[in-house]
Amino acid sequence: MPGWRLAHRRAVTARPRCRSNRCCASSRDGAIAGIGEGRNAMTTRRLFITGTDTNVGKTRCAAALCHAFAARGFTVGAMKPVASGCLRTTDGLRNEDALALIGAMTVRARYEEVNPYAFEPAIAPHVAAQRAQVRIDLAQLDHAFERLSLRSGVMIVEGAGGWLTPLDEQTLLSDLAQRWQLAVVMVVGLKLGCLNHALLTQEAIERHHGALAGWIVNAVDPEMQAAKESIDTLRARLRAPCLGSLPWAPGESARETAAQLDITALL
């Protein structure tokens, strides 16, 4: 059994104390209802895609992972639980990242299932929720997640910002990874400063959740110097398998990106 699976199992059975009484109470309710512990949790591969920062390519990688698993015959569902920076349309607020996931997944779902909370300002999600006078309901997120999971052989959940992005005054978006028992894949945006960001993110994930399942390096600065040396350093210091190194390619399709990933460690 891969090391990240063992560490993840230990993290689930010996969870650190949650920062939010509301979150902990809701987590108990979710467990009773089967969130993360039911029959489908034993058969569905569940991944949480986080990043070293915002705008590092989480959506590019999440959509590519959808295609990579689909190419191996899996039914794939995806979710962007909370999104800011949404556009107003005749159908309501729509998020570009969530629409990309819908286009990459194989399970048919309503937009509201994929992105239950959509906010217009391109600001931190918890601030956007405060301005909209909306309280993010974990039970509503649970319901959407479970509906998609029951129809999926692989479930891919994309976060927002980095690992410690807040959902409200007490709850972090990454709490969902533990709540739903998701293995974590980290996207490293290849740019100056990424080594520090990647190592700090790894430490935070291991401290609060368990071992990384894998990581993807994504070029976000086409003029970055010493890119190869930075990737070599990441390979030496990150305690998880590298699933791929993606070049700067703005026009590349998610299917083309998927062909550059090796998901063997996630199977």
What's phi and psi for 169, nearest 5 deg? -65, -25
Rounded to the nearest 10 degrees, how much is the dihedral formed by the CA atoms of 152, 68, 60, 159?
Answer: 40
Nearest to 210 by CA among 188, 190, 230, 181: 181
What's phi and psi for 239, nearest 5 deg? -95, 55
Q: Is 80 an annotated catalytic residue?
A: yes
- List, in sequence order, every residue forming a beta bridge with 245; answer none if it has no partner: 217
Residue 168: CB atoms within 10 A of its CB come to: 16
* Residue 186 contacts residue 215 (beta carbons within 8 Å): yes
Look at strands 76-79 and 242-246 and give their pairing. unpaired
Burial 49-82 (b: 16+ CB within 10 A, else e): bbbbbeebbbbbbbbbbbbbbbeeebebbbbbbb
Given 58, 80, 191, 228, the catalytic residue: 80
Query: Which tokens is 92 given?
Result: 């309501």
Active site residues: 80
